[in-house]
Amino acid sequence: MGKKRMVMRFVVGILATIMLVGGTTSMQAQTHVKEPVNIYFTAKEMPDMRKFMPAPPDTFGIQWTHDIMRYYWGKDLRIKDPERAKMARADAESNIEWLMKEFSVPFGLQMSREETPEMYRLLKDATSTARKICTDVKKFYARQRPFLRFHESTLTPEEEEFMSNGSSYSYPSGHALMGWCIALLLSEINPERADTLFARAYMYGDSRVIVGAHWQTDVDAGRLAATVAYGKMHTHPMFLEQLEKAKKEFCRLKGRAMPGVQKGDLEKYYTTEEMPNLIKCLPAPPDTLNEYFTYDLMRYFWGKDQRVTNPELAKVARRDGIWNPIDTLFSSFNEALGMTISKENTPAIWKLLTRSLVTTDQMRVAPKAFYHRTRPYVRFHEHILTYDKEEDEVELGKEGSYPSGHTSRGWATALLLSEVCPEHANEILKRGWDYGESRVIVGAHWQTDVDASRMGASIGYGALQSNPTFREDMKAAQQEYMRKKNMK
């Protein structure tokens, strides 16, 4: 419990600082001047969440049970932690000027429409565009909000009329999407503050569960959707131009030089110390007295059932468990990409993926050692589907379960390839999603290991975007893909 208290003290410290410096703003009526917004992609041009993520849970099943337990967690926290409840109520605001003020402390620079006009324009246009990924999905699922299902009130009664009007749906959470998108954008501008930015964004999303406006699965989906939309925007020249202006504005205000392209044949883009620290960005894994652990248990037995009832899925899951050579992972995306990925056939894409994963792989080392979470098959004295030799299984059991390195690699690869080849984003992202689920099916990981790893990969992907050498490699990979495609 000592380690978890250390992490919680870090998070509470951020919370207290934000509330003190300016995060206590209540949802007051504000006068805003109407101004044009640059939408980089329409809803139809965005990747379709319905094709690469599961539907929100219905009124039965493991995820639904988890949603109910988290809803009551939120209600309980309103009473037990008044300060966190106060913050959750304030977080119901989603106006971009309020969010700039709220994220100024973790960002390390006071932002406003007047003081940082280029950053204001970037955040306004980018978050407006990112929300387009939710437009059709919200209407398609038309998921009812939790407070309406239970005929209860929320912590933000002034929101309830709007949320009850029959056109404001629950899945995914637009607030969670906006908060995570802002953290991605600001951490790309100022990578040194990534830890505090993502910690704040994570709390901003969880606030929607606390007030009773969203289910937990809405919030989780909103964060992942933000990362996908963020990647998509990196394929638009107007977005990249505005991002560059924002970076120059930040460097000017901070008295810094713009970072340049690194020279030489690099193995990785950043060192471990230069990458975000997942211990500070994400919550600790659940212990055995947590509602999340009940969720983990149910998903573990779901995975065991899949091995018997779905042999084809089990076969894919077993293949997905191969860690080295890394080309085995890349080849699993060949069908989705419509092209064979290899050092010989696609050297630029291969170099981008290899350098990126060597960089993001570093992020899992610290939390694995810090938490040293017992793997599910070890806890239950069972076997996993991956290995034929018992000694390999024993060796894996010595390594911490949280987060999942396989899932991180799979989701990071999917995000990278979706930027290389946006036209096949749905298929690529679906393969990346399934790659993570394979870890639950074989019994090597808990579901919360997998969920946290997708978030960790999203954070790592954002860190890569801040590196000029990575941007050059991405451009070369995109050009190579187009050349190969046109040769067919």
Q: Where are the alpha helices (DSSP H) in 289-404?
A: 291-309, 311-320, 327-331, 334-337, 347-361, 365-371, 376-379, 390-397
Q: Return the amino acid letter for 245.
A: K
Cα–Cα distance between 92 and 98 in angstroms, integer? Answer: 11
Buried b (16+ CB within 10 A) or exposed e, 273-301: ebbbbbbbbbbbbbeeeeebebbbbbbbe
CA-angle at 116, arms to 115 and 117, nearest 5°: 105
**Which residues lie below 8 Å from residue 45, measured CB to CB, with a gap of 6+?**
132
Q: Return the amino acid letter for 279.
A: I
Cα–Cα distance between 135 and 146 in angstroms, integer? Answer: 20
CA atoms within 13 A on the CB side of 232: 32
Enter the tokens of residue 40. 């980089």
Known catalytic membership, residue 175? yes
Long-range contacts of 481-488 (CB under 8 A, 24+ apart): 481/339, 481/346, 481/349, 481/420, 481/421, 484/339, 484/345, 484/346, 485/338, 485/339
Residue by residue, what is the 3-state secondary structure of 275-298? CCCHHHHCCCCCCCCCHHHHHHHH
Cβ 233 vs Cβ 130: under 8 Å: yes
Question: Tell me, what DSSP letter sits at residue 42?
Answer: -
Enter the tokens of residue 160. 């309830």
**Which residues lie below 8 Å from residue 310, measured CB to CB, with a gap of 6+?**
none
* Catalytic one of 84, 143, 193, 214: 214
Q: Return the amino acid letter for 146.
A: P
Establish whether the linkage from the previous residue to 172 is cis, with ω within 30° of 0.
yes
**Which residues lie below 8 Å from residue 295, measured CB to CB, with a gap of 6+?**
62, 65, 66, 69, 447, 448
* Catalytic one of 91, 125, 218, 434: 218
The count of other CB atoms within 10 Å of the CB of residue 118 is 18
* Catalytic one of 175, 193, 234, 409: 175
Enter the tokens of residue 132. 């387009």
Cβ 195 vs Cβ 240: under 8 Å: no
Residue whose token pair is 């830890």: 195
Cα–Cα distance between 242 and 222 in angstroms, integer? Answer: 24
Concatenating the DSSP letter of every residue in 133-154 gives HHHHHHHHH-PPPHHHHTT---
* Catalytic one of 78, 143, 208, 373: 208
Known catalytic membership, residue 218? yes
Known catalytic membership, residue 145? no
Active-site amino acid positions: 175, 208, 214, 218
